[in-house]
Amino acid sequence: MNILRTWKDFFSFLLAPAIDHKEGSLLEKSLSAFYIFILKVILVIITGLLLHLLFGNPDPKILNSTLINTSIFIALFAGVFEEIVYRLSLTKFNPWYLSISLAGFLFIIIKKLYFRNMLLENEGLLVSSLIAVASFPIFYLITKKFTEQLERFWQKHFGIVFYISAFLFAISHFFNAKELELVNLKSNISHLFSALILGYVRIRSGIVAAIILHIVWDLML
């Protein structure tokens, strides 16, 4: 699979997202992920330049955090945790996957909306973690009970699932800003691109490839 064919497949995929049932080799999946990573870099650069020309500095001030300076640990955590929360379920419906994703998303909501800080900040970390862990069996019992209905929905409306995942990923980063002003939404365009690209990689190349690309990107920032 060459690079242009991969890029064409990506944009075609966005028109009608679907679960990938094809089995490719590890090399093919790795090359696909690498080609998409190159596309991500290009799109982010173009978007950043356009936003800078239109609005000046597009990045809002983020929440105070002693952890925000990128480190290997933070990049590893963000790559693994965010991919599990937002993209683990982008495959054939699995109640375990969805329950894990929902519990993780609840943790994010509590930390960012209630405590108004970054995920690994000490304030609220224990409380948020305990609530998320306690919610997991509840989510699992519910998703298990409605597995048949959810499986049908996943098969028939997977595109909706895909775009909801991408939207939630992008909008959750909006709450990293100190001032929750609508003007700051423009800075989340790159996060939306990232969500679409990482979602595609997760489906075409697997969750491990999506995690690796996420980590590499965070380390580059």
pLDDT in tens, 168-205: 999 888 777 666 555 566 667 888 989 999 999 999 99
What digits encode the pLDDT tens for the residues 69-111? 457 788 889 899 999 999 999 999 999 999 999 999 999 999 9
What digits encode the pLDDT tens for the residues 12-22? 999 999 997 67
In a domain, 3, yes or no: no
Lowest mean pLDDT among 48-52, 169-173, 196-200, 214-218: 48-52
Mean pLDDT of the chain: 87
> Domain residues for 31?
24-220
In a domain, 2, yes or no: no
Backbone angles phi, psi at 123, to 5 degrees: -65, 120
pTM of the model: 0.88
Domain total of the chain: 1
In a domain, 135, yes or no: yes
Residue 115 pLDDT > 50, yes or no? yes
In a domain, 11, yes or no: no
